[in-house]
Structure 1
Amino acid sequence: MTPPAETVETAATLANNDNNDKDSVLAKLGPGLITGAADDDPSGIATYSQAGAQFGFNMLWTILLTYPLMCGIQIVSARIGRVSGHGLASNIARHYPKWLLYFIVGSLLVANCINIGADLAAMGEASKLLLGGQAKWYAIVFGLISIVLQVFIPYQHYVRVLKWLTLALLAYVATVFVVRIPWGQVVLSTIIPHISMKAEYLTMIVAVFGTTISPYLFFWQASQEVEELRAKPEETALLKAPLQAIKSLRRINIDTFIGMGFSNMVAFFIMLTTAVTLHMHGQTEIQSSAQAAAALKPIAGEFAFLLFSLGIIGTGLLAIPVLAGSSAYAIAGSFKWKNSLEHTATQAREFYAVIAVSTVIGVILSLSNIDPIKALFWSAVINGVISVPVMVVMMLMAAKPAVMGQFVISRRLTILGWLATAMMGAAVVAMAFTV
């Protein structure tokens, strides 16, 4: 359903009359941009690097497919938050059985802790490559920095830090320009998919989908829409303020299309860089994102190595708060605790405790003897498996008037969201039958 004609007309008039700088494209970028950039964390970098090294250009087509699907499902999650004024966990708790809520949130917490540990280990190894010393101490420092930033810096200041950290991803775009690319072959491989039914190929597809379309991104973006409402007193949930619909939904679309485009572009370039360097030189086995960086040095040169390594650290600093934060939003929403980065640590003790504990568990995992590539890779696979039930519940909620009122999602967005869900489910089933 759509808002009444007079509501749309009034909202459009208000939007057109609002001539301040908030209407600029840059001002519209926030939850979607940060969510998209956080998707290319060290776990994602390792997965994309392994895909490029192992299969060359034959995995590039997956990025062309994930972009529209990722946009669709992330817009759904953002709209649920903006329309209802509540995060995903709070909405699931209100409208679905407790067992389903606990299964989803519990699975999310486990996957996120593994992901944080793997990311911190990768950041430590990248720092060791650049500066020397011991990787474990760097991992500990990065974990502590993440906790301090989230606990002690107010949301409006903190979100600016995260926006600037997204620039770290440009390192992977720049890397492409220091290696030679056979663009004709790249274009053909991208638009004409190479499909194999081998177990390792299908598992890699699930890993790519899992690191691109991940549950923590759904929870984070929905919650960040709620945070935006709390930070701006003039805005409120669309269920209570339908006049704000036109401007708010347009902003969500722009933010998400650009954010997910940025994310997928970077993923494409990481896969392309490792395909044209490592794969073409016979290095098809990558044990970590740091190893991918080190392997580039003798093939692509010092500059490519430096860019790749700095990118691992920068994206980790962006992704770890998103991973820990999404766990905190999910758990706090489940138990109706205060959950906002706008609150101080004393106002939302449980919320910040989850952030701190999740990060500390990640630090402990990063110091263990877990194989880093297995942790990174299988965290992506776990995310792929968990995504399916989460996406099903999201799609059902987005079409439910009890949740969305008159702002239930359109037929086009419904088709795109269910297509993303079906594609993720098919990839997981295919992997299960071949492993």
Structure 2
Amino acid sequence: MINDIRTGSFERMKQHNQSSVLNTIRIKEPISRADIAKLTKLTKPTVSSLVSELIEQDLITEEEAATSTIAGGRKPILLRINYSAYYIIGVYAAAEVVRVIMSTMDGKIITSISQEITELPTKDEFLEIVIEKIDYVIHHSKIERSLILGIGFAMHGLVDPVQGVAIFSPHLHLEDIPIKETLEREFNLPVLVENDVRSLAIGESWFGQGQNVSDFICLSVGRGVGSGIFINDEIYRSSFNTAGEIGHTIIELDGEKCQCGNNGCLEAYASESAILKKAKMGLNDHPESLIHEWLIDSKTDISLEMVFKAAREGDSFAISILEETGNSLGLAAANMVNLLKPSMLILEGYIFEQGDFVVTPLKNMIEKYTFKSPHEHISVVCSELGKTGMALGAVVLILHKLFKTESV
């Protein structure tokens, strides 16, 4: 199963059954062979054979139950996933940073490194940065290459996950980056590539707020605005692998110019870049703002940290900018909720970590503009995965391939 691509209908069926057994153990652990057979509807001999193979591969471990299920009988042998047996590399490439982690199968990060991108790179320069950072985590983690299951890659922009190509990276101004081909050739490991916010949603479903939630939306705000959509326990990509581009939904006809070329996109009103633009353009009309004083003292440009600090100190100009941002995001989110009816909205990004300045107006807009029956309720929560959320999502791309059953 590990790093093994089988061919033929029998072997595909066997791999399907093995993944089914492995995923059942993951969800129900500790669990006996007999209970696995009941849940998977596989025969006991089949389960026993598959479990033996998984033990041989060090993917699962055995332990004796604390008590017997039958008075005076033998204590059953229970099975657990051996999460520390293998490792996965997760890569997150944003407009301004490349972050690489080495993780165990349960999401524990053992090595990580980041590099800021200060100048627009060429395709080759971008790939060189990624390769260098992957080399670093492999070397410093001291993990044998044979114990690394693969490399998951979360890339901002438009991605073709089948070919493993970054079709268009708007903030890096790069097209057709052959990520999968390059990294598989360089490291001789399986590589899976996905859009960053879809990776985040997949990560939330395994390690974050989306655990045990079958339908949810991740709304991520950074230099851009994007969403990852989870429906019936699966990520939704669409036929074109472009689902979730909420940042380019129109919230104002003939409005602000967006970098995509259209006018009135959400991203032009509610991204980090939009917040800074509003602060710069409106500052002269608000000489009373604390930001004026801080700019004179520091002799630096306006920053997000400065806007939020001013808001925390009661600066009405800063508060109004953040409230407008929350209103715009909330209106777009309300439209998505009306269309898809998720039970949860997960918010990710720096602006959601700075108190309620953006979150409260966003929630208010959702409450005001969603059409719902009396029994419907949507939870609005903030991601708790932190800066490594996208990279952990990339790790789950590999885990998903290992644990989840595919149609045969």
* TM score, norm. by length of structure 2: 0.23
Greater share of residues in strand: 2
* TM score, norm. by length of structure 1: 0.22
Bigger radius of gyration among the two? 2
